[in-house]
Amino acid sequence: MTTQTTPLWEVFIRPRNGLAHRHCGSLHAADAEMALQAARDVYTRRGEGTSIWVVPSAEITASDPKDKDALFEPTAEKIYRHPTFYDIPDEVGHM
């Protein structure tokens, strides 16, 4: 099977106890319906999922690894964005 007839798809599974779909891998399939089926068979064999998304890998726009410094370096020194300086009252519970 060539990648032309069975392009690559990215698979996102919503775990049993999780709220958001998480990327869990990729697979080859002829179209969206077959990709969903294959995702079920490949990635939910141990009862992991309650919902599946499949997205053509070609449709994903990714950041360039070369831009890593420009994109992510500037946040390194902004430690005040991590709200670790505050005491959270017990009544608030889990945040």
Q: Answer whether 11's CB lies under 8 Å from 26's CB.
A: yes
Residue 81: Cβ within 10 Å count: 7
Question: Residues 13, 27, 52, 54: which binds other proteins (CB under 8 A)?
Answer: 27
To other proteins, the closest distance from the beta carbon of 3 in angstroms equals: 12
Give yes or no for residue 1 binding other proteins (CB under 8 A).
Answer: yes
> Is there binding between residue 34 and other proteins (CB under 8 A)?
yes
8 Å CB contact between 10 and 61: no
Among 41, 70, 71, 88, which residue sits at the site for other proteins (rule: CB under 8 A)?
41
Under the binding rule (CB under 8 A), the answer on residue 50 touching other proteins is no
Specify the residue for token string 């992991």. Answer: 48
